[in-house]
A and B are shown apart, each in its own frame.
Chain A
């Protein structure tokens, strides 16, 4: 498969990038490592005539895990190898290590991973294949083949870093034609969207970087990933847990899930009630089951939804257990 022609722009500053974005409004994509975008272009999935590369903007490459400050263009390889990141935010370093292959991680970036295109059996296909079914809502068509209707796309969010960063209360800085804002990472992924536009990013906005609050005393975190092939695979489920205990009682608990639904998701409503309580086998099982019944994967990836839901309960329990053991 071949790429269609496009024009590549290589701005050297953020203002320059944003003015290019204004100039080519609706006609461009930002390009980070390209490991997600370019394979999709090859399959003719919503290609644009202009690409604005972010690689030449120095400040996007900053990497200060000790300050909890990560530029969007930091490569996954740098993250997985960072002792600072691993000691302060282990779930994030683990998730970075679990993405794709060493080769892809050498190009793939933090920002690209958070904004990775969602995936579906009926979408990640060649033009010929998609055309044979009359295309679908997410590209070139007007219907969904997974959940038959014409409004909403249920393609699965399959990035590994988002749940890990969400569990650690990350915020993202966004810069666009209308100014700069900082929002919790959880707000980047609206649950009430149509699934076609997958984030709350506004037109022309660059994801500038991620900030992580300093870990509170005793905070532990972990990321677990379910997949078919151990060496590399998109997640069929990703579970991140951050936990802090105080004298045997939970003082802080976050569970975030990816690889399961249209957006990654934090399960605060189900974990908040556990704060202040003692974790028991029973409460843990109940938490797993509650999460299992709250999630709604659809059958557009390799493993069946009932299995992935069941595994959500299993991996949540396993993750929490491994954080409580030895603490």
Chain B
């Protein structure tokens, strides 16, 4: 299906938040912390006020007067006494022009007294920390411990106990559109136009951060140039609103790409200590210990730890298991989700670990997975009954493909498989209105298209399939949060499967109503469909056809059509709470599997890895839009190749990012994309509309593991740290004199 936004976007005709202007608008620029940790000794905005064009400066001192009901003090909206990461906002300058705002920002006087900073979790915790010792540790903001069975006891009688440590680094979402918003405050109407994955989520976040009643906040989504988890939180919006309030004029703020890298939300480093136990050739127990750097996130504010630990166990049957993790608050920027938050990193550890275990046992790693992987009806470690799940079928297909690829492999080439699984956010609810008039159908809801097509083609496909009306007669209409039906946002791979349900229900409500209005009446339970004929919508059923216009009530005719609202609030996820010893695990809902096969070539002298070809089997449930579906899987794989091979935020010991730009933070280009084979495995229905399962996040999950496993297959050496730069691979190969395993820490080289 041709997306309605494709041509306007290609022509540059679609306005993004950073293109919007309001009469009398001011431009804003940030003053941010240059230190990872420092005390603010002096903050004097007065020199900035003297810069021609500067209208006002916002600092922490202004907040009490602007927000009489208070505001969230930690993290402060603007730093007052202490800064805790490079890039933390300290002041915001509003001016008549952007250059004046920037000049003003440079003129603000701030004196800092640098304090010791904590930016490398491993140097602080080189060994797995003692639980008692960690109790009073100020860096610990979260601790989760969960288990079933007695892992130690099983390990004690294991035939093989396999232990490894995996490390992952900082990755940024790199949406091609940086954050931007435009705010205006008139009386009690706090209005912000912003680029976001979740207008209602931003409203909640703002209500929380500014202590304002939600009904005073009006969040209007714009076109979004990619989110990938980076546009779920109100980051710039509070400052834009407060400056608008203070100056009485509309204010626009936008970030540069460098600012995006420095202090917008990124996924921070993690260390995974993995142990697996084998008895009689079977994997029977696994333990994961995770140290997760959550940057400057607050206690309880990061969900990553409680959500991700389950993924480190893999989709395998286990008799005993234990997961334990610490979230550590460091002087890095706050943690942010990055397409399937932390799941690619978990899969890198979990699937690298099972691969190396199978190889150590001399067993085919794919066959080994097949023996243990969940099948429908199994219980997951967290006590969830496994729904229809395509992993085993996909592994079988991967085996077949390996049989045809393997015999032709030249030297230094290898094949690697990895399984990813994911729980999509199908429990988060949403509502949608459908409005049907003689000229066509309109879907009215609160989400903007974020680039993945889930709104412009996904919801439209659902409406088209539910009603029979061709997609070209269906349009999507957006409203701000004061008028749109509630929806929880475009995140968690949920939009089509869940909000689509609401669209489907509204469509059915309209069709049922119209069926009742046929005259003479249709036989009971006759279903009607919509059609486009003679330039108008017609309703067809029971072998008859009537123009829609004739079936509308006089009021509906006056309004131009019939309106119905669909609501869908999914069932909660499931979790057997008895496994939780400490902290919180998040229940999983719909489970989807991704099985990937990578074919790589490794340069044995330089360590350079080239992906030759790639195959991805995705547990699809039901595919609504074939092109859109393929686009999501392609996008996930390509983004995953970046995580696997080239993307790495290099933070120096001083807390400053060395490569905050697109030249040195290397995302893949089209030239890096190998031939991709993409297979959607339908036939394992999910709980989304029509049996759909989310596809936004899952396809990125197995990529780094599949590539690393292929490198291990090609070379016999395993790289246990992401990304697999030529240098890391060379070190693992022993080309630099410290062969794998010999040095205590083969993969790590320090950032200057």
Question: Which A residues have a C-beta under 8 Å from some C-beta of B?
Answer: 1-2, 101, 121, 124-129, 131-133, 146, 226, 228-234, 299-300, 302-304, 306-307, 310-311, 314-315, 318
| B710 at interface by CB-CB < 8 Å | no
Check if A121 sits within 8 Å of B658, measured CB to CB.
yes
List of B residues within 8 angstroms of A311 by Cβ: 606, 730
Pick from B86, B646, B670: contact of A229, CB below 8 A.
B646
Ordered by A's residue number, 18 sampled pairs between the chains whose C-beta atoms are within 8 Å are: A1-B258, A125-B660, A129-B34, A129-B258, A132-B34, A132-B656, A133-B34, A228-B725, A230-B608, A230-B610, A231-B670, A231-B671, A233-B666, A300-B752, A302-B725, A306-B736, A310-B730, A311-B606
Q: Which chain B residues lie closer than 8 Å to A126 at the CB level?
A: 256, 258, 660
A233: chain B residues at CB < 8 Å are 666
> Is B666 touching A129 in the complex (CB atoms < 8 A)?
no
CB of A258 to closest CB in B, whole Å? 17
Given contacts A125-B660, A129-B656, A132-B35, A228 and B726 within 8 Å (CB-CB): yes
Contact A307 B659 (CB under 8 A): no
**Nearest neighbor of A237 in chain B, beta-carbon distance:** B606
A299 and B652 CA atoms in complex are apart in Å by 12
Instruction: Name the distance in Å between B613's Cβ and chain A's nearest Cβ.
Output: 15
Question: Cβ of B98 and Cβ of A2 under 8 Å apart?
Answer: yes
Would you call B749 an interface residue if the criterion is a C-beta within 8 Å of the partner chain's C-beta atoms?
yes
A273 to chain B, nearest CB (A): 25
Residues in B589-636 with C-beta less than 8 Å from chain A: 605-606, 608, 610
Assess whether B663 is in contact with A303, with CB atoms less than 8 Å apart: no
Q: Are B258 and A121 in contact (CB under 8 A)?
A: no
Measured between alpha carbons, how far is A310 from B656 in the docked complex, in Å?
Answer: 28
A-chain residues with CB within 8 Å of residue B111 when the two chains form the complex: none
Given A1-B256, A129-B258, are A226 and B34 also a contact pair (CB < 8 Å)?
A: no
A304 to B726 Cα, complex, angstroms:
11
Decide yes or no: A303 and B650 within 8 Å by CB, A231-B671, A310-B736, A314-B605 being known contacts: no
Q: CB distance A226 to B666 under 8 Å?
A: no
Q: Is the CB of A303 within 8 A of B727?
A: yes
Q: Please, which residues of chain B bring their CB within 8 A of the CB of A2? A: 98-99, 102
A120 CA / B426 CA spacing, docked (Å)? 47
Q: With a CB–CB cut-off of 8 A, which chain A residues contact B605?
A: 314, 318
Q: In the assembled complex, which residues on chain A have CB atoms less than 8 Å from the CB atom of B256?
A: 1, 126
Cβ distance A159 to chain B, nearest Cβ, rounded Å = 15
Q: B669 and A232: CB pair below 8 A? A: yes
**Distance from B659 Cβ to chain A, minimum over Cβ atoms (Å):** 7
User: What is the CB-to-nearest-CB distance from B512 to chain A, in angstroms, rounded to a whole number?
Assistant: 54
B80 close to A (CB within 8 Å): no
Q: Are B671 and A230 in contact (CB under 8 A)?
A: yes
Tell yes or no: B735 within 8 A of A by CB.
yes
Closest to A233 in B: B666
Task: A311 to B731: give the CA distance in the assembly, Å.
Answer: 12
Given A121-B659, A230-B671, A302-B650; 13 other pairs, CB 8 A cutoff? A1-B256, A124-B663, A124-B664, A126-B258, A126-B660, A128-B34, A129-B258, A230-B610, A232-B669, A302-B725, A304-B749, A307-B731, A315-B606
On chain A, the residues within 8 Å of B222 by CB distance are: none
Q: Interface on B for A, CB 8 Å cutoff?
A: 32, 34-35, 86, 98-99, 102, 106, 256, 258, 262, 605-606, 608, 610, 646, 650, 654, 656, 658-661, 663-664, 666, 668-672, 725-727, 730-731, 735-736, 749, 752
B6 shortest CB reach to chain A, Å: 22
Residue of A nearest to B112 (CB): A132
Please determine whether A310 and B659 come into contact, CB atoms closer than 8 angstroms: no
Which A residues lie within 8 Å of B660 (CB)?
A: 125-126, 129
Q: Is the interface of B mostly helix, strand, loop or mixed?
A: loop
The interface residues of chain A lying within 8 Å CB-to-CB of B727 are: 303-304, 307
Shortest C-beta distance, A324 to chain B (Å), equals: 17
Contact assessment for B258 and A231 in the assembled complex, using a CB-CB cutoff below 8 Å = no
Tell me which residues across on chain A come within 8 A of B656, comparing CB atoms. Answer: 129, 132-133
Minimum CB–CB distance from B132 to chain A (whole Å) comes to: 38
> In the complex, are the beta carbons of B752 and A299 less than 8 A apart?
yes
Closest partner residue, chain B, to A229 (CB atom): B666
On chain B, the residues within 8 Å of A124 by CB distance are 661, 663-664
User: Shortest Cβ distance from B236 into chain A, in angstroms?
Assistant: 17
Bound form: Cα–Cα A129–B32 in Å: 10
Residues of B within 8 A of A318 (CB): 605
Chain A residues with CB under 8 A of B654: 133
Contact A310 B663, CB 8 Å, known A121-B658, A146-B752, A228-B646:
no
Contact indicator B659/A231 (Cβ below 8 Å): no
How close is A254's CB to chain B, nearest CB, in angstroms?
22
Q: Judging by beta carbons under 8 Å apart, are A229 and B672 in contact?
A: yes
Within the complex, the shortest CB–CB distance from B34 to chain A, in Å, comes to 3
Cα A234 to Cα B262 with chains together (Å) = 22
Q: In this complex, which of A127, A230, A299 has the most chain B Cβ atoms within 10 angstroms of its Cβ?
A: A230
Contacting residues, chain A, for B730 (C-beta < 8 A): 307, 310-311
List of B residues within 8 angstroms of A226 by Cβ? 606, 726
Q: Which residues of A contact B106 (CB under 8 A)?
A: 127
Q: Whose C-beta in chain A lies nearest to the C-beta of B262?
A: A129
Minimum C-beta distance from B85 to chain A (A): 12
Residues of B near A146 (CB, < 8 A) are 752
In whole Å, how far is B672's beta carbon from the nearest beta carbon of chain A? 6
Chain B residues with CB below 8 A from A228, complex form: 646, 666, 725-726
B198 CB → nearest A CB, Å:
29
Instruction: Looking at the assembled complex, report how far the CB atom of A318 sits from the nearest CB atom of chain B, in whole angstroms.
Output: 7
Task: Verify A307–B736 contact, CB threshold 8 A.
Answer: yes
The smallest beta-carbon distance between B470 and chain A, in angstroms, is 39
With a CB–CB cut-off of 8 A, which chain A residues contact B608? Answer: 230
Minimum C-beta distance from B113 to chain A (A): 14
Q: Are B668 and A229 in contact, CB atoms less than 8 angstroms apart?
A: yes
Q: Considering the chains assembled together, what is the distance between the CA atoms of A2 and B101 in angstroms?
A: 12
A127 contacts which chain B residues (CB < 8 A)?
A: 106
Closest 6 pairs (CB-CB, A-B):
A132-B34, A231-B671, A299-B752, A229-B666, A231-B669, A307-B727
A315 to B603 alpha-carbon distance, docked (Å): 12
In the assembled complex, the CB of A131 is this many whole angstroms from the nearest CB of chain B, namely: 7
Chain A residues within 8 Å of B659, by CB: 121, 302
Q: Are A234 and B663 in contact (CB under 8 A)?
A: yes
Instruction: State how many angstroms separate the Cβ of B518 from the closest Cβ of chain A.
Output: 60
CA A133 to CA B114, docked complex, whole Å: 12
Please give, as numbers and ranges, the residues of chain A lying within 8 Å of B672 by CB-CB distance: 229-231
A133 / chain B contacts, CB cutoff of 8 Å = 34, 654, 656
Complex Cα spacing A226 to B606, Å:
9
User: Complex formed: what's the CA distance from A232 to B668 in Å?
Assistant: 10
Cβ-closest chain B residue relative to A298: B752
CB distance from B96 to the nearest CB of A (A): 15
Contacts of A121 in B (CB 8 A): 650, 658-659, 752
Report the separation of the CA atoms of residues A21 and B30 in the bound assembly, to the nearest whole angstrom: 38
Residues of A within 8 A of B668 (CB): 229, 231
Q: Return chain A residues, CB-CB under 8 Å to B610.
A: 230
CB distance from A197 to the nearest CB of B (A): 24
Q: Which residues of A contact B735 (CB under 8 A)?
A: 310
Instruction: Write the chain A residue with the least CB distance to B752.
Output: A299
Chain B proximity of A29: nearest CB distance (Å): 21
Give Cα distance in the complex from A311 to B733, angstroms.
Answer: 14
Q: How far is the CB of B648 from chain A (nearest CB, A)?
A: 8
B262 CB contacts on chain A under 8 angstroms: 129
B752 touching A128, Cβ below 8 Å: no
Most chain B CB neighbours (cut-off 10 Å) among A131, A232, A307, A314:
A307
Q: Are A314 and B749 in contact (CB under 8 A)?
A: no
Name the distance in Å between A77's Cβ and chain B's nearest Cβ.
Answer: 16
Q: How far in angstroms is the closest Cβ of chain B from A315?
A: 8
Interchain nearest-CB distance for A108 vs B (Å): 14
User: What is the distance, in angstroms, from B448's C-beta to the closest C-beta of chain A?
Assistant: 27
Which residues of chain B have C-beta atoms less than 8 A from A128's C-beta?
32, 34
Considering only CB atoms, which chain A residue lies closest to B730 in the complex? A307
CB distance from B689 to the nearest CB of A (A): 39
A133 to B656, CA, bound (A): 9
Checking B86, B98, B99, B664 against A302 with a beta-carbon cut-off of 8 angstroms, the contacting residue is B664
Query: With A and B bound together, what is the CA distance between A299 and B32 in angstroms?
Result: 27
User: Distance in Å from the Cβ of B412 to the closest Cβ of chain A?
Assistant: 14
